[in-house]
A and B are shown apart, each in its own frame.
Chain A
């Protein structure tokens, strides 16, 4: 029998039992859509968290554990590894930086780094440029905001008390220096972090750049950054206090790959060479394992719905075979092979599975879209927090892999549940069937 004729045969029978087939397709659709939507939550959450991790840290960064100090030789060795873009040595000055500007002042961290490497890693500034001359510095995004005078300190304190009474906190964003700090001169004194230490004398610096806003809303960056050329002068300044020479600076090394894909090979090579290093991509790997297990679990639960729908398909097909016993008998009598009869019925259950799956995929995308659009608003209304709508949380994500897995499961299950009725059809006794009354 030609394939087209087989299709005609199947569609003719489906048309004859429209309502029954429709109800069965509906059950298959619901099962498959449930499976897809349920699993899409796993995919969505994974994507949200992955984006969260990737937006937090520079993904190309490979961190070096502990306070290992690299020698020139080691730095060159690492730099020679393929795809390593740069090694950034960030030196933390072991003292609080006390800055003075007009009647304002603030305490912040002071970092020293090679500004060329620093620029390569951090890219564009919010405002201004990277330091090129001695005594030029750049400051964190919140530096101006943290520069407050006594009057403002009082206001902040009051606002804070008020916020505390309400169970929240106030970050001081309404106070501070409002104008641009670019080109402004500040005075900087260092306060060593040891008991009884005195502040060093003030040195003048010019702010030439302001760094970009940190990726998290809650992160405050009011640090000061200067070039490594300033390190000897800072050492001299600190030497006037009681700080021991060894305790003045702490170095932290970070290795940067040229792209995210190359982080893993670099990481492997560094580990082989005995360096203790890690990267957020490893965190991603661990998270991916967790979500893989979660997604398998969700697909498993969803499959149960598909299995329930398959009972419907089984019933429909068994009914179809029973109803058509005489017709099957005639077909067999005039020479239809058992294989052909089995195939005709399997095609019918597969057809139900395919149509159910197609509709389910379409419905799932609609549900997913609606959920992503409305759930943040509903949660915002219910909890009163705007974090849901601001953070771009994806509640449901349907990648093509999920569509493929769900389709394979529901069409497979439809075929399996049609198998027994189809076998039954081939076993029909011609003589018995022909004796059936019309």
Chain B
């Protein structure tokens, strides 16, 4: 499903004229198979977030190749990359990244709007999914009226609404207490089992990594496979 080969990236740090080249990714290789939960674990500054951002197309790598469903994505233009994201990826962010001016329902509906789907069809899809993730009661609530766990559920529902084959999660439980964390991890596991969705989870939390089928550890720009 995802093949990453020899991915390299360097940051320029410091004042103009006195910049220092700091390598963040030093030739990363890994593969994610369909229906897998893969965790990339690492301390902050290890380069795991950079890896996710390049994977998602938010930034470009200097060298290397990324193939998603057989398609090379490393050289897509910004517009192509956006269209690709809309079809292939769903995103779950650490701090949920919900639109504060939209209700839970409208937040989940947003990707469908971007896809140009008509209102009647959107409403039906969103209602079904909200029911599934247990959000029906809070459909008309704004993000600031929801608990952290509810917000992350909305965020997951938003990621799922377009039926993407791959979900990219950046510290999905980073802002939640341990009880809610368990809820969200169970939800991810059940989605993986029932819908066969592929998850790539970036985390520093070893607990989160336990739900993964395979684990990679990021250390100083290099990725090492760990046994599950």
Contacts and interface: CB of A to CB of B under 8 A. Distances in A.
Interface string A63-87: 0000000000000000000000000
Interface in A267-309: none
B69 to A, nearest CB: 16
A339 to B, nearest CB: 6
Interface stretch (B2-10, B19-27, B40-48, B78-86): B78-86
A434 to B, nearest CB: 6
Interface string A166-190: 0000000000000000000000000
Contacts of B89: 335
A430 interface: yes
Given A431-B58, A431-B59, A335 B111 contact: yes
Given A335-B83, A336-B114, A330 B97 contact: yes
Contacts of A438: 95, 100
B99 A332 contact: no
Given A12-B101, A438-B95, A338 B82 contact: yes
A434 B93 contact: yes
B209 interface: no
B100 A337 contact: no
Nearest to A430: B58
B83 A337 contact: yes
A1 interface: yes
B217 interface: no
Contacts of B204: none
A1 B85 contact: no
Contacts, number: 67
B153 interface: no
Contacts of A329: 97
A1 B89 CA distance: 18
B53 interface: yes
Given A335-B83, A338-B78, A338-B79, A434 B116 contact: no
A13 B78 CA distance: 25
Nearest to B89: A335
Interface of A is mostly: helix
Interface string A314-350: 0000000000001101111111111110000000000
B105 interface: no
A334 B158 contact: yes
Given A333-B85, A334-B85, A338-B82, A2 B118 contact: yes
Contacts of B115: 1
A195 interface: no
B202 to A, nearest CB: 13
Contacts of B99: 327, 330
> Number of contact residues on B: which range applies?
20 to 34
A5 interface: yes
**Most B-side CB within 10 Å, residue of A329, A429, A434:** A434
Given A334-B111, A335-B111, A16 B101 contact: yes
Given A334-B91, A335-B83, A431-B58, A1 B97 contact: no
B114 A340 contact: yes
A411 to B, nearest CB: 26
Interface in B135-181: 158
A337 B79 CA distance: 5
Contacts of B193: none
A334 B93 CA distance: 11
A331 B107 CA distance: 11
B110 interface: yes
Interface in A29-52: none
B128 interface: no
Contacts of B114: 1, 331, 334-336, 340
Nearest to A6: B113
Contacts of B59: 431
Given A333-B91, A334-B158, A337-B79, A5 B113 contact: yes
A330 B91 CA distance: 10
Nearest to A340: B114
Nearest to A12: B101
A3 to B, nearest CB: 10
Contacts of B111: 334-335
8 contacts: A12-B101, A13-B101, A333-B85, A333-B91, A334-B85, A336-B114, A430-B53, A434-B97
Given A337-B82, A338-B78, 7 more contacts: A2-B118, A5-B116, A12-B101, A333-B85, A334-B86, A334-B114, A336-B114
Interface of B: 53, 56, 58-59, 78-79, 82-87, 89, 91, 93, 95, 97-101, 110-111, 113-116, 118, 158
3 closest A-B pairs by CB: A335-B86, A335-B85, A430-B58
Interface of A: 1-2, 5, 9, 12-13, 16, 326-327, 329-340, 429-431, 434, 438
